[in-house]
Amino acid sequence: MNAKEDMQDIYLDYAAATPVDPRVLEAMLPFFTDQFENPSAPYARARKAKQTLEGARASLAHAIGAKPASITFTAGATEANNLAFAAVEGPVLIDAIEHDSIRAVATSREHGIVPVETDGRVSAESLANAITPETELVSIALANGEIGTVQPIAELSRVVSTEREQRLSEGNTTPIYLHTDASQAPCTLSVNVSSLGVDLMTLSAAKISGPKQVGLLWAREGIALAPLVRGGGQEHGLRSGTENVAGVVGFAKAMELAEADRKNESKRLRALRNLMQARLTSAFPDAVVSGPRKDSQRLDTLLHISFPGVEARRLVIALDQRGVSVGTGSACAASKMRISPVLTAIGLDENTANGSLRITLGHASTQDEVEQACNIIEDVVAREYERVEKRGGRA
Amino acid sequence: MSERVIVGMSGGVDSSLAAALLVEQGYDVLGVYMRNWTADLPGFECPWAQDLADAERVAVALGIDLEVWDYEEQYKREVVDYLLDCYKHGITPNPDVMCNEKIKFGTFADAAFDYGADFIATGHYARAVPGTPRLFRAKDEHKDQTYFLWRVPGSILARTLFPIGEIENKAIVREMAADRGFETASKKDSTGICFIGDISIRQFLLAELKPEAGDIVEWETGKVLGHHDGAFLYTLGQRKGLDLGGGPARYVVKTDAENNVVYVSADRNCPLLWTNELHLADARWVAGNAPSSADYLVRTRHTRKLEEAHISAGDTMAGVTFSVPHETVARGQSVTIYQGDECLGGGIVESCR
């Protein structure tokens, strides 16, 4: 660790946070100083701010194939997820690998949990089995941020539609909605609400090279949202508080760039991810890669790899000491001393789960970086296995 | 086969460097983070998760294992409950003394030796000699922690390593830690009582014990000068926190826990503030037997200088006689006894005369 001259600085935790793109920052800057007005104020300058806000909303609506009026801006994805759940009062249903911001909300009320396959996918059949006549909201993330599973949302939405039609025919007026947290998706996957067939969708600027604490909830027309933050009645009374004009301008710009780069980036990052996977699994044949096998069912930017018998907590520290930043799972799970519930849900044994790294790529990742990171990871993991083996001989 | 040391690592600079020195000296080292009980009250934050992460970073850099041993229950029973019980009865204890006796050099040491350790080690500022039941002050007289270690049995000290006790001063400790690339090198010294973090003992006691309004009475006149939230919050000799709304500085000269009265005096020379003789109960002698009665050096507070006094020692008690009047020491406080550099043991103040 004292070889400072060899010190790298390689960031591989884009699923946790992304750097703001310089073009996004540039778009945002005027709204901190020159055009700072409160969009609700009555004078001309403020009306311009209001126009800017609505322009950003329209741009984001366009990107997801929705009407601007159906978008509510929030301070990030966690709040948008909370807002989605507040739309219904009855039982909710989530899958077993949801992010804390979904799990914590769902488990605080009457809820069901749909099991997932060992690759993290929710099957149409298990979803159909888990829905009860009382279920009012189903929430399934489009792409999982820990193991990278991309859910067959369009297929699952048909299960929800079938249930809805069934209720209509039986005269059951209980609504049922499908919500998806698509925060991890936009850089590599389409987030068009019509093709996904969802009723509510969460997006976050922070995961797509935009600012943190800026997110949105889209809700199909006819869904009555209930506010969690009350006050001056901004966002149609659904989210009070002076609008974050700079933030949503950045969000819109980031989404525009994600859309434009999506095709190239998904191809490029998938190749880099697969290169990394190939190198690490050939160096460590016992390593376990989690998530679906098929590229089309995985987030292109994510590699979840476990080295059974070593402690990922130590690997993360040792990698950090060599200048490589990676995660062990969702940031929340990493700060506590417990195995991630996501890994338990996919049936990973404790020994394997404890040795799990979540490596995520992003816009700034290069092949050179990935190869250097592989060298360092291979070295660090090999040393740790060596150490564990030596220790085993002693005990 | 190198000798095996199990070192208590708290995530602080002293135990980090202790672990590093042991590795460098060729010992077979295992780090253990002792998880103690922490207060879980609104607004109380004990940063143990951060401390554990700090210890883990050092362990990884040294290439040693770090295990977490859970002493939450023992710590609650042996240290926290003891502390609360003392305060409830108007006694001012040293929780660190109990923690060392019962946890670090008690439960932990036993478990470490059961685990096959030849030695245990900690980051304390003290010195011990392997194989002998003796305890010596640290080279750094200013940081010396023998005041908190006097109840540790000699049999444990004979199997204890204190690598930090050999270092001249704390600045050098930090320098040596920084040289090894430890981020803990610049971590601030922990203050106060570990299980309540940065919260004051007063806030902790108010949350745990039942506050009960009582009078603050002037000792000489019997006049009620003000009110307090519980006599258990006050300690003999205390000057701050009386909140009597102006007037001269006043000292707590007596607390009556039973009747919930705190007596104060503005007179620095009030006889209750001075003593010629301390009676120590529950004495412990590091070597196992009481020293012969003679003049020794004593310490009546961790941060106080060594003073000469005549000691008449018994197996479980001791009398301390000063040649000139000495500030009184609160009941429950430790007094440690030295011959030269060596800590012979100590006792707990039961009364002053």
Q: Which of the listed residues A232, A257, A282 is the one where a domain comes to its end?
A: A257
**B137-151 average pLDDT score:** 96
Is position A33 within any domain? Answer: yes
Contacts of residue A336 in chain B, CB cutoff 8 Å?
49
Give the end-to-end CA distance of chain A in Å, rounded to a whole number: 27
pLDDT attached to residue A338: 65
Side-chain half-sphere CA neighbours of A248 within 13 A? 26
Give the end-to-end CA distance of chain B in Å, rounded to a whole number: 56
Is position A99 within any domain? Answer: yes
d(CA B230, CA B236): 14
Are residues A110 and A122 both part of a single domain? Answer: yes
d(CA B110, CA A47): 74
pLDDT attached to residue A331: 42
pLDDT digits (tens, 9 = 90+) for B172-201: 999 999 999 998 888 887 765 667 666 678
Check if A394 contacts B (Cβ < 8 Å): yes
**B253-270 average pLDDT score:** 91
Report ipTM (2 d.p.). Answer: 0.77
pLDDT attached to residue B108: 97
Check if A338 contacts B (Cβ < 8 Å): no
CATH number for the domain that contains residue A216: 3.40.640.10
Residue with tokens 């996004």: A24
Q: Output the average pLDDT for chain B.
A: 91
pLDDT digits (tens, 9 = 90+) for B29-67: 999 999 888 776 665 555 677 888 899 999 999 999 999
The alpha-carbon radius of gyration of chain B (Å, integer) is 21
CATH number for the domain that contains residue A355: 3.90.1150.10
Question: Which of the residues A86, A332, A334, A382 is marked catalytic?
Answer: A332
Q: Which of the listed residues A213, A242, A257 is the one where a domain comes to its end?
A: A257
Q: What is the DSSP string of B79-130?
A: IIHHHHHHHHTT----HHHHIIIIIIIIIHHHHHHHTT-SEEE---SEEE-T
Structure tokens at A383: 């040393």
Q: Which of the listed residues A208, A230, A257 is the one where a domain comes to its end?
A: A257
Distances (CA, A) of A115 to A304, A345, A354, B19: 20, 7, 21, 46
pLDDT grade, residue B26 (50/70/90)?
very high
DSSP reduced 3-state for B311: strand
Of A1-15, B96-110, B118-132, the one with minimum mean pLDDT is: A1-15
Annotated domain spans of chain B: 4-196, 210-265, 271-352
pLDDT grade, residue B244 (50/70/90)?
confident
* B271-352 has CATH 2.40.30.10 classification: yes
pLDDT attached to residue B191: 63
Residue B154, exposed/middle/buried by CB under 10 A (0-12, 13-18, 19+)? middle
CATH number of B4-196: 3.40.50.620
Which residue range is the domain that position A146 belongs to?
Answer: 22-257
Please say if A332 is a catalytic residue.
Answer: yes
pLDDT attached to residue A283: 98
Cβ separation of A391 and B65 shorter than 8 Å?
Answer: yes
pLDDT digits (tens, 9 = 90+) for B266-315: 888 998 999 999 999 999 999 999 999 999 999 999 988 999 999 999 99
Task: Find out whether A61 and A67 touch, Cβ atoms under 8 Å.
Answer: yes
Task: Find out whether A334 and A146 touch, Cβ atoms under 8 Å.
Answer: no
**CA distance, residue A391 to nearest chain B CA (Å):** 9
Are residues A350 and A374 both part of a single domain? Answer: yes
Are residues A288 and A380 both part of a single domain? Answer: yes
Are residues A293 and A349 both part of a single domain? Answer: yes
pLDDT attached to residue A332: 38
Task: Find out whether B187 and B13 touch, Cβ atoms under 8 Å.
Answer: yes
In this prediction, the residues of chain A whose per-residue pLDDT falls under 50 are: 1-5, 330-336, 393-395
Q: How many structural domains compose chain A? A: 2
pLDDT attached to residue A334: 42
Are residues A309 and A295 both part of a single domain? Answer: yes
Are residues A173 and A275 both part of a single domain? Answer: no
**CA distance, residue A327 to nearest chain B CA (Å):** 15
Task: Find out whether A90 and A196 touch, Cβ atoms under 8 Å.
Answer: no
Q: Residue B81 — φ and ψ, nearest 5°?
A: -65, -40
pLDDT attached to residue A138: 98
pLDDT attached to residue A35: 93
**B252-263 average pLDDT score:** 92
User: Comparing B4-196 with B271-352, is the CATH topology the same?
Assistant: no
Are residues A274 and A131 both part of a single domain? Answer: no
Question: Of chain A residues 294-333, which have a CB less than 8 A from chain B?
Answer: 313-314, 317-318, 321
Contacts of residue A2 in chain B, CB cutoff 8 Å?
180-181
* Count of residues making up chain A: 395
Q: What superfamily would CATH give domain B210-265?
A: Adenine nucleotide alpha hydrolases-like domains (2.30.30.280)
**B117-123 average pLDDT score:** 97
Are residues A70 and A212 both part of a single domain? Answer: yes
Is position A1 within any domain? Answer: no
Are residues A278 and A336 both part of a single domain? Answer: yes
Contacts of residue B65 in chain A, CB cutoff 8 Å?
391
Are residues A297 and A235 both part of a single domain? Answer: no
Check if A381 contacts B (Cβ < 8 Å): no
Is position A2 within any domain? Answer: no
The closest CB to that of B181, out of A1, A314, A317, belongs to: A1
- Buried (b) or exposed (e) across A85-100, using 16+ Cβ within 10 A? bbbbeebbbbbbbbbe
Are residues A357 and A306 both part of a single domain? Answer: yes
pLDDT attached to residue B45: 58
Are residues A383 and A306 both part of a single domain? Answer: yes
Specify the higher pLDDT residue, A113 or B218. A113
pLDDT digits (tens, 9 = 90+) for A66-78: 999 999 999 999 9
DSSP reduced 3-state for B214: strand
Cβ separation of B28 and A318 shorter than 8 Å?
Answer: no
